Amino acid sequence: MSQNYLNIRNDYLAKAWARSAAVLSVCLPAALQDEGLSFQAFGEECLLTGMEITLAGEAATGPEGLLIALYASLVRDLPVDLNSLRSFKELPNSMPYQGAFAANAEQILVPQVPGLHLQQERLASVFSGRVNTAPPSGDFSFTLYPLPRIPLYYIFHLPDEEFPASVTCLFAANAPEFMPLDGLADVAEYTGKKLLALLAGG
């Protein structure tokens, strides 16, 4: 992470910790520990302190660290509305980001749909998620939690003789309550990259 991005991340951290540790732990939500706040992020154990963010014990100096800090600075103690799902293009003011979202969050997964199908239970477990037993459409589906209040609901179509594979990533209806639109798009992008890394054995 460049010094400029590191400064932005640290500004978000300062905003997050402007709230008390007790309040922040409820909003994230996270377990309050002596060394900081612990929760799952991008499929790893995350520790949030006033000065640092670690993922799996390593300093989160990349884009994921910036997104975690942004989330921590804004997240509120509200229920997540997964009863009403929205595609990215249905979220308010998403027009400028729709092309990049489709390319970076959905299309990158299309070549790996058969592998995702075979590994769906393991992948859902890594992200503290679940396989969806009754999706509204598609051949299979799972919900992942890259951040505790930002679930991603994926619907996959396997390729066949008539149609290619496809991927749709849906959000909770109130996802913008927890992160701005560009941040939501980035969360989905880096979740997709982590899925590909897991399939590759990373």
Q: Are residues 89 and 116 in the same domain?
A: yes
Q: Which residue from 187, 167, 189, 192 is spatially nearest to 175, judged by alpha carbons?
A: 187
Last residue of a domain, one of 49, 74, 99: 74
Q: Is 173 within a domain?
A: yes
Q: Are residues 155 and 189 in the same domain?
A: yes
Q: Are residues 90 and 59 in the same domain?
A: no
Q: Are residues 53 and 124 in the same domain?
A: no
Q: Are residues 122 and 194 in the same domain?
A: yes
Q: Are residues 126 and 181 in the same domain?
A: yes
The verdict on pTM exceeding 0.85 is: yes
State the total domains in the chain.
Answer: 2
Q: Is 190 within a domain?
A: yes
Our CA dihedral for 42, 45, 48, 49, rounded to 10 degrees, sits at: -150
Q: Are residues 122 and 171 in the same domain?
A: yes
> Could you read off the pLDDT of 159-194 as tens digits, one per residue?
998 899 999 999 999 999 999 999 999 999 999 999
Q: Is 30 within a domain?
A: yes
**For residue 120, what pLDDT is reported?**
97
Q: Is 126 left (phi over 0), alpha (psi -120 to 50) or beta?
A: alpha
Q: Is 80 within a domain?
A: no
Structural domain boundaries enclosing 151? 85-199
Sequential pLDDT tens for the chain (202 residues): 567 778 899 999 999 999 999 999 999 999 999 899 999 999 999 999 999 999 999 999 889 999 999 999 999 999 999 989 999 999 999 988 899 999 999 999 999 999 999 999 999 999 999 999 988 889 999 999 999 999 999 999 999 988 999 999 999 999 999 999 999 999 999 999 999 999 998 5
Q: Are residues 95 and 152 in the same domain?
A: yes
Q: Are residues 137 and 107 in the same domain?
A: yes
- Alpha carbon of 92 to those of 50, 76, 86, 154: distances in Å? 32, 19, 10, 20
Q: Are residues 67 and 90 in the same domain?
A: no
Q: Are residues 110 and 12 in the same domain?
A: no
Q: Are residues 8 and 57 in the same domain?
A: yes
